Amino acid sequence: MAYYLGIDVGTSGTKSLLIDATGKVLAEAVAEYPMHQPKPGWTEQDPEDWWQATVATVRKVVRKAKAKPADVRAIGLSGQMHGSVFLDAKNKVVRPALLWNDQRTVAECDEITQRAGGRKALIKMVANPALTGFTAPKILWLRNNEPRKFDKVRKVLLPKDEIRRRLTGEFAGDMSDASGTLLLDVVKRQWSKKLLSKLELDPDLLPPVFESEQVTGQLTAAVAEELGLSTDCKVVAGAGDCAAGAIGNGVVERGVLSTSIGTSGVMFVHSDQPEYDAEGRLHTFCHAVHGQWHMMGVNLTSGGSLQWWIDNVVQGLAGIPKGKRYEAATAEAAEIAAGSGGLSFLPYLNGERTPHADPSARGAFVGLNLTHTRAHMTRAVMEGVVFAMRDSLEIIRSLNVPVDQIRVSGGGSKNPLWKQMQADIFGQNVVTLNAEQGPAYGVALLAAVGDGAYDSIGEACKATIQVKEQTKVDRKAASAMDALFPIYQDLYVALKDSFQKIASLQ
């Protein structure tokens, strides 16, 4: 048997799954962990939690599928992007990792832009402007704020690459994930020596980078034994979770857009060459397909907003198993008409990235009246999240990038109401696929390609990914949403200055 393992080091948890060479999912498992917020706007995780979750989920899927060690031929790794794992000379972490949604690096973004010779010069070097979530500002933050710890750092790894190091003992990364460090020359697909030099960063801090299906090492003997696998098991470069999710959604050609509602919200389009939003609102990154790129818009607190709402506000869910709480809490929202009775929610609970790169943006309900209930508010949270995604879609459409089909994914898109809202708010039918596991599935396919089961990623996607069902636009709901969208857009503009003042008090 030839089996392939996909591991996705997500924000809410790590997911592992095992597929066979036809792409059939044999077993999957998830282990959750917390995201720490030591101060407003700061987000951190302990890389040891990722490792423990990796071991637990891999052992579980191997056991569930009754796989023999030699069956599992290759592993693909995916993970939350941009996070910084700082390792010392003995490969010990010097502090918890700063995550993709951490907002503490405003000063460092300015420093990078200035050292690069301005925003235009920076975009020329690495295709993107400096944003607080990216990795380079995190490295400078450590140098500026915790210099003793910085002096100990010998390697900086992205989350999935830290898991690779523990699996194989090798330092390596891939092009798609490396794009989100702000240190990769995205056009040439190599580290930007020019920017590293301007930032006075040692290039040796970074691992070598590979294309996504390339083999970067094999399991160490100790790890193979711990996981019930073989030392012949290869580990391919893999991809950042957005590109991995796009592979898992079969987004390997122009005209197809994939959305993901995870903790973050992502709107992802494939491009055959580097394409840019002149205003820098969309990211231009390498795709996990050789010689291909993508553009995407990212919202920081999408599924995260509903999670916050349910964990902190919605009462009466204590007796309901954790996995069923979202459905229970959103059932009452489905009873409310589209538009939530004119109530808007801005999902900027931890600042925002696309289209408002603004760490000071904050969440808000606007338009409350005495007739509104908790159900209206739950619905408004869900609608606000999709309005934020429509902001990215409007930019993509304005750049004349074709969007012939929208494929929805992520934990949030499993919810039928959120799926319908995406069709209604985007004003375009959306489809779901047979493979619903997104990033973990995408990197399992990359592992299959790396092992030679398929000649190319495109071929692997064509053979394994099919449209399962279509959710059609409800015209009445869509026109209610169209009426609310410009109001939603105006609210950020109206509240921007107040958000600044509020953030300074927090």
Ligand X SMILES: O=C(CO)[C@@H](O)[C@H](O)COP(=O)(O)O
Ligand Y SMILES: Nc1ncnc2c1ncn2[C@@H]1O[C@H](COP(=O)(O)OP(=O)(O)O)[C@@H](O)[C@H]1O
Min. distance of Cβ 25 from ligand X in angstroms? 19
Interaction partner, residue 298 (ligand Y, ligand X, none; CB < 5-8 Å by kind): ligand X
List the one residue out of 123, 463, 79 whose CA is nearest residue 288. Answer: 79
Residue 189's SS3 state is coil
Q: Does 242 bind ligand X (CB under 6 A)?
A: yes
The verdict on 13 binding ligand X (CB under 6 A) reads: no
- Does 37 sit near ligand Y (CB under 6 A)? no
DSSP label of 200:
T
Q: Per rule CB under 6 A, is residue 103 in the interface with ligand X?
A: no
Nearer to ligand X, 217 or 248 (CB): 248
Task: Work out whether 259 is an interface residue with ligand Y (CB under 6 A).
Answer: no
Selection from 374, 434, 369, 381 nearest residue 412 by Cα? 381
82 carries a ligand binding annotation: yes
**Which of 11, 284, 305, 360 forms a contact with ligand X (CB under 6 A)?**
11
Nearest distance from C-beta of residue 161 to ligand X, angstroms: 13
x/- track of binding to ligand X for residues 153-192 (CB under 6 A): ---------------------------x------------
With CB under 5 to 8 Å by kind, the binding choice for 461 among ligand Y, ligand X, none is none
CB of 301 closer than 8 Å to CB of 350: yes
* Sign of the alpha-carbon torsion through 231, 236, 242, 244: negative
For residue 49, count CB atoms less than 10 angstroms from its CB and return exposed for 0-12, middle for 13-18, buried for 19 or more. Answer: buried
How much of the chain is in helix, strand and coil states, percent to nearest 5? 40, 20, 35
DSSP letter for each residue of 220-260: -HHHHHHHT--TT-EEE--EEHHHHHHHHTT--STEEEEEE
For residue 266, state whether it binds ligand X (rule: CB under 6 A). Answer: yes
Q: What are phi and psi of 164, to 5 degrees?
A: -60, -45
Is 16 one of the binding residues for ligand Y (CB under 6 A)?
A: no
For ligand Y, how many residues bind (rule: CB under 6 A)?
Answer: 20
Phi first, then psi: what are they for 309, rounded to 5°? -60, -45
Catalytic positions, written as ranges: 241
Question: Who's near 449: CB < 8 A, 6+ residues apart?
Answer: 213, 236, 455, 456, 457, 460
* Interacting residue with ligand X among 41, 262, 359, 412 (CB under 6 A): 262
Alpha-carbon span 106 to 135, nearest angstrom? 12
* DSSP sequence for 110-121: HHHHHHHTSHHH
- Per the CB < 8 A criterion, the answer to whether 355 and 391 are in contact is yes
**What is the Cα gyration radius of the chain?**
22
290 among annotated binding-site residues: no
Binding at 216: pick from ligand Y, ligand X, none (beta carbon under 5-8 Å per type): none
Find the residue with minimal CB distance to ligand Y: 411
Q: Does 11 bind ligand Y (CB under 6 A)?
A: yes
Size of the site for ligand X (CB under 6 A): 15
Q: Is 349 in the site for ligand X (CB under 6 A)?
A: no
Which of 263, 292, 344, 464 binds ligand Y (CB under 6 A)? It is 263
Q: Does 348 bind ligand X (CB under 6 A)?
A: no
Residues 42-101 that bind ligand X (CB under 6 A): 80-82, 100
Q: Answer yes or no whether residue 264 interacts with ligand X by CB under 6 A.
A: yes
232/215 Cα distance (integer angstroms): 12
Phi-psi region of 469 (alpha: psi -120 to 50; beta: other; left: phi over 0): beta
Pairing of strands 364-366, 344-346: antiparallel
Q: Which two tokens stand for residue 495?
A: 């509240």
With CB under 6 A as the contact rule, the residue among 330, 354, 420, 432 that binds ligand Y is 330
Binding pattern for the stretch 417-446 against ligand Y, x by CB under 6 A and - elsewhere = -x----------------------------
Query: For the window 276-305, what string marks contact with ligand X as x by the rule CB under 6 A?
Result: ----------------------x-------
Tell the smallest beta-carbon distance from residue 433 to ligand Y (Å): 14
What 3-state class would DSSP assign to 450? helix
Q: Which is nearer to ligand X, 142 or 243 (CB)?
A: 243
Binding site for ligand Y (CB under 6 A): 10-13, 261-263, 303-304, 306-307, 326-327, 330, 410-412, 414-415, 418
Task: Show binding-site residues for substrate.
Answer: 81-82
Binding site for ligand X (CB under 6 A): 10-11, 80-82, 100, 133, 180, 241-242, 262-264, 266, 298
